[in-house]
Amino acid sequence: MECVAVTTLMAGSKKVIMFFYDVISPYSWLAFEVLCRYRNIWNIDLRLRPGFLTGLMKETGNNHPGILPNKYAYTVKDLTRQFQYFGVRLCPPKDPFEVMYEKGTLPAMRLITAVSELQPSAVEPLSRELWTRIWGLDLDITERQSLTEAALKAGLSASQVEELFRLVGTKEVKDKLKSTTQEAIDYGAFGFPLSVCSVKGSPEVFFGSDRFELMAHCLGEKWVGPRPDTPTMKMRERERDGECVNKASLG
């Protein structure tokens, strides 16, 4: 596919990227942080779309990586490398199987969905706080007390938290989470994270946290690594720009 000249969905002068995720997914956390870091650099209108990974995988017939021992062992090792590379703190749960496959994240994802209805600006900090709890501190994200602590740390007031827990159990919030999950499936999702932008007027879908270089190419933007604000990344960008200028001058 030719991606040099692209037309993206626009929100004013910004490019729209819809990001579907579940905080049970550590790779979603990495992709989330990268998109947040590049939001101003790429002039993105980043639209966070909390979904339910367990429901999505059931609907699509996908299996968790823990089903295959070799794949699970590789994933654990790969996550350590990935988190170091992306500059995100990792402290895996002592019992990942229990956390991911027995407890799950339905209460957490319903809470984030309720926040998207009541206080949309808090979706980002709450999502980050929940990821930090489960993947950075090995803390619970299923009990009401744990979710309350996360919501308060994300900047929500005690009264807002009470209202959120009232909304969590409503049909409106449950249906919203289901519909967002189905929307991801309709885009072809078989897992999370899923980033959707529009290239040449049609949706372009990117799965995972390792397709940002391709995404940048399709969007006509620059990818300078997962930490664009670090001096090393800025230096590489300047060197690459200088190299391009020199090549152009040589004709």
Digit-coded pLDDT (tens) for 22-67: 999 999 999 999 999 999 999 999 999 999 999 999 999 987 766 7
CA neighbours closer than 13 Å in the CB half-sphere of residue 109:
27
Put residue 47 in one of left, alpha, beta given phi > 0 → left and psi -120 to 50 → alpha. beta
Which of the residue ranges 3-17, 71-85, 139-153 would you say has the lowest mean pLDDT?
3-17
Are β-strands 202-207 and 194-199 bridged in parallel, bridged antiparallel, or unpaired?
Answer: antiparallel
Which pLDDT score, from 0 to 100, does residue 66 have? 65
Residue 104 lies in a domain: yes
Question: Is the pLDDT confidence value at 251 over 70?
Answer: no
Q: Answer yes or no: do 209 and 167 share one domain.
A: yes
Q: Answer yes or no: do 250 and 195 share one domain.
A: no
Confidence at 240, pLDDT banded by 50, 70, 90: very low
| Digit-coded pLDDT (tens) for 57-78 | 999 998 776 677 788 788 888 9
Give helix 171-186 / helix 53-60 axis angle, nearest 10°.
Answer: 50
Report yes or no: 79 and 48 within 8 Å, Cβ to Cβ: no
Q: Answer yes or no: do 129 and 233 share one domain.
A: no
User: Which residue range(s) make up the domain with 58?
Assistant: 10-220
Residue 233 lies in a domain: yes
Which whole number is the average pLDDT over 216-228? Answer: 94
Question: Is the pLDDT confidence value at 246 over 60?
Answer: no
Question: Is the pLDDT confidence value at 206 over 90?
Answer: yes
Query: In whole numbers, what is the pLDDT of the chain averaged over residues?
Result: 86
Residue 72 lies in a domain: yes
Which pLDDT score, from 0 to 100, does residue 189 have? 96
Q: Answer yes or no: do 200 and 234 share one domain.
A: no
Question: Is the pLDDT confidence value at 209 over 70?
Answer: yes
Question: Is the pLDDT confidence value at 114 over 50?
Answer: yes
Q: Answer yes or no: do 214 and 192 share one domain.
A: yes
Report yes or no: 191 and 22 within 8 Å, Cβ to Cβ: no
Q: Answer yes or no: do 251 and 215 share one domain.
A: no
Q: Answer yes or no: do 185 and 97 share one domain.
A: yes
Residues 193, 41, 45, 156, CA torsion sign: positive
Looking at per-residue pLDDT, the higher value among 227 and 249 belongs to: 227
Residue 2 lies in a domain: no
Looking at per-residue pLDDT, the higher value among 228 and 7 belongs to: 228
CATH at residue 201: 3.40.30.10
Residue 141 lies in a domain: yes
Q: Answer yes or no: do 135 and 246 share one domain.
A: no
Q: Answer yes or no: do 151 and 243 share one domain.
A: no
Number of folded domains in the chain?
A: 2
Residue 5 lies in a domain: no
Q: Answer yes or no: do 111 and 180 share one domain.
A: yes
Residue 1 lies in a domain: no
Residue 162 lies in a domain: yes
Which whole number is the average pLDDT over 207-219? Answer: 94
pTM: 0.85
Q: Answer yes or no: do 179 and 57 share one domain.
A: yes
Closest CA to 189 of 35, 22, 66: 22
Which whole number is the average pLDDT over 196-220? Answer: 90
Question: What percent of the chain lies above the pLDDT cut of 70?
Answer: 84
Q: What is the residue whose two structure tokens read 């019992």? A: 95
